[in-house]
Amino acid sequence: MTLTKSLVFGIMLLLGIAAVAQEYPKAELALDYSYMHFAPSQAYTQNKSLNGGGGAFVWNFTNHIGVKMDLQGYGSFTNTFNIPASTPGLPSGAHGSVSGNLFTYLFGPQLKFRHQRYEILTDTLIGAAHSNVYGSAFKTICQPIANGCGTTGAPSNNGWAVLLGGGLDIPINHTVSVRPAQFDYLLTRFGNFFTKANANQNSFRYSAGVVFNFGHPQ
């Protein structure tokens, strides 16, 4: 093989390697519908089915690794409290309904395994959650009673959150993919004013939507 042919072959090989290395979008924007099975895990509350939606933005550093920002919101829901008598702070018991909402703000790494016909993703995200149902419950049930629920301060509407999950994307072309399903476990930690301590809420989320890819090599 002559020197010229060797140089041409080497250049073509490098170009081929670079093309393979860059065969992924630089950024992804997902818009989705989201269903949350929200489990307050707080005394005297019930699990709720929430409907909402939002989006996620991913910046890909490699073919498989990216950093993700996930923002979701869910409409107001109503929770009924039936607190029995002889409860500390509420010796006569209490009954009432309160409304609230839920928002999550999550960030972290995403791993994606790409195939020509499908893509499997998994992510581990951490951040914050917001719900005014806990403050509403305090005002409705505890505040009307002197030292009700054993505390005079309203709980915070904010808590931290952790999400673990994964999903499936089906590419339509280089620009658009369909995400038929993503399933996630969501752990939130809001203040529990009945026990004067924080309590974990173990919830599950399903989402589906469309993913737009940007910066994909043509």
User: Which tens digits make up the pLDDT trace of 182-210?
Assistant: 999 999 987 665 555 557 888 999 999 99
pLDDT at 120 over 50: yes
pLDDT exceeds 70 at position 211: yes
Q: What are phi and psi of 104, to 5 degrees?
A: -130, 145
Where do the domains of the chain lie? Answer: 26-214
Q: Which fold has domain 26-214?
A: Porin (2.40.160)
Checking if the pLDDT of 108 tops 80, the result is: yes
Report the predicted TM-score, pTM, of the whole model to 2 decimal places: 0.78
Q: Are 152 and 122 in contact (CB under 8 A)?
A: no
Q: Quick one: tokens of 172?
A: 């339509």
Sign of CA dihedral 131, 128, 180, 37: negative
Q: What is the mean pLDDT of the chain?
A: 80
pLDDT value, residue 78: 73
pLDDT of 19: 41
Checking if the pLDDT of 3 tops 60, the result is no
For residue 60, count CB atoms less than 10 angstroms from its CB and return exposed for 0-12, middle for 13-18, buried for 19 or more: buried
Q: Cβ(109)–Cβ(124) under 8 Å?
A: yes
Select the highest-mean-pLDDT range: 91-105, 125-139, 167-181, 194-208.
167-181
Q: What percent helix, strand, coil does the chain show, rounded to 5?
A: 15, 60, 25
pLDDT of residue 4: 55
Q: Say whether pLDDT at 139 is over 90.
A: no
